[in-house]
């Protein structure tokens, strides 16, 4: 029993990491049998791990059609962008916590994570939420970050100057210029909400290319 729990925890961590790092893309089927073979375990701990991810909204259960990375509709993706924006603006409004944290003295997120814009975006948004020291808000941002990660990987190259955009946001964060950060976050999400139809069409096209 303990071995199954340990295997389930391992599969959970690895699949979640894969979702965050672009290993699994929107619409892709995740096969428990393949994972069981990969991790040299029985299907039971694999299914336990996957259904934990289903409960977190990171995997969809399509019943007879199996488990898939969510392929969001236009409405769902727009709502998810809106939710992330609201959470981050809420974090910015907690000025007592954010204002008490000094700038990072050049150790900026924009130059970390090996120059990977997608990973740096996750890290920046997580840092903004973590700085509030308000666990429910931080957990909500983590979940929204993880739900958006496969989308970010699949739409790479669709948004021009994404590196510059992120560097500007990170500059505001490092200097703790909260008004500028809030304005930048609104602009960041507004651009993506305008592109939702193109993003969803791209996700569907890439899903179809791999089926």
pLDDT at 95: 63
> Where does the pLDDT of residue 172 fall: very low under 50, low under 70, confident under 90, or very high at 90 and above?
very high
Whether residue 115 has pLDDT greater than 80? no
Tokens 């295997």 -> residue: 7
Q: Each residue of 74-94: pLDDT tens digit?
A: 999 999 999 999 999 999 998
Distance CA 58, CA 52 (A): 9
Whether residue 123 has pLDDT greater than 90? yes
Both tokens of 203, joined, read: 């996700």
Domain positions in the chain are: 2-70, 74-207
Q: Could you tell me the pTM of the whole model?
A: 0.86
Whether residue 128 has pLDDT greater than 70? yes
Q: Each residue of 45-73: pLDDT tens digit?
A: 999 999 999 999 999 998 888 999 999 99
Residue 30, classed as helix, strand or coil, is strand
Whether residue 101 has pLDDT greater than 80? no
pLDDT at 209: 73
Tokens 């500028």 -> residue: 180
pLDDT at 105: 43
**Whole-number mean pLDDT of the chain?**
87
Say if domain 2-70 classifies as CATH 1.10.10.10. Answer: yes
- Low-confidence winner among 20-24, 89-93, 106-110, 189-193 (lowest mean pLDDT): 106-110
pLDDT at 148: 95
Q: Each residue of 129-162: pLDDT tens digit?
A: 999 989 999 999 999 999 999 999 988 888 888 9
Whether residue 199 has pLDDT greater than 50? yes
- Give the C-alpha distances (Å, rounded to integers) separating 202 from 24, 73, 161: 15, 12, 19
Whether residue 108 has pLDDT greater than 90? no
pLDDT at 154: 87
Instruction: Taking each helix axis as running N to C, give the angle between helix 135-154 and helix 74-93, from 0 to 180 degrees, rounded to the nearest 10.
Output: 140
> Where does the pLDDT of residue 5 fall: very low under 50, low under 70, confident under 90, or very high at 90 and above?
low
């Amino acid at each position: 029993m303990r071995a199954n729990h340990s295997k389930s925890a391992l599969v959970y961590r690895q699949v979640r990491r894969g979702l965050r790092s672009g290993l699994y893309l929107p619409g892709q089927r995740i096969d428990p049998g393949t994972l069981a073979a990969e991790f040299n375990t029985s299907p039971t701990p694999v299914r336990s791990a996957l259904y934990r991810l289903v409960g977190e909204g990171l995997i969809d259960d399509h019943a007879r059609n199996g488990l898939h990375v969510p392929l969001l509709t236009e409405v769902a993706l727009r709502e998810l962008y809106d939710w992330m924006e609201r959470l981050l603006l809420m974090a910015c409004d907690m000025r007592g916590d954010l204002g008490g944290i000094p700038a990072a003295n050049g150790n900026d997120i924009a130059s970390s994570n090996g120059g990977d814009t997608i990973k740096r975006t996750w890290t920046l948004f997580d840092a903004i939420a973590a700085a509030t020291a308000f666990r429910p808000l931080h957990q909500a941002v983590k979940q929204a970050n993880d739900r958006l990660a496969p989308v970010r990987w699949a739409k790479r190259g669709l948004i021009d100057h994404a590196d510059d955009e992120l560097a500007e946001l990170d500059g505001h964060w490092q200097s703790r210029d909260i008004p500028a950060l809030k304005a930048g976050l609104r602009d960041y999400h507004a651009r993506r909400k305008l592109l939702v139809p193109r993003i969803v069409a791209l996700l569907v096209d890439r899903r179809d290319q791999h089926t």
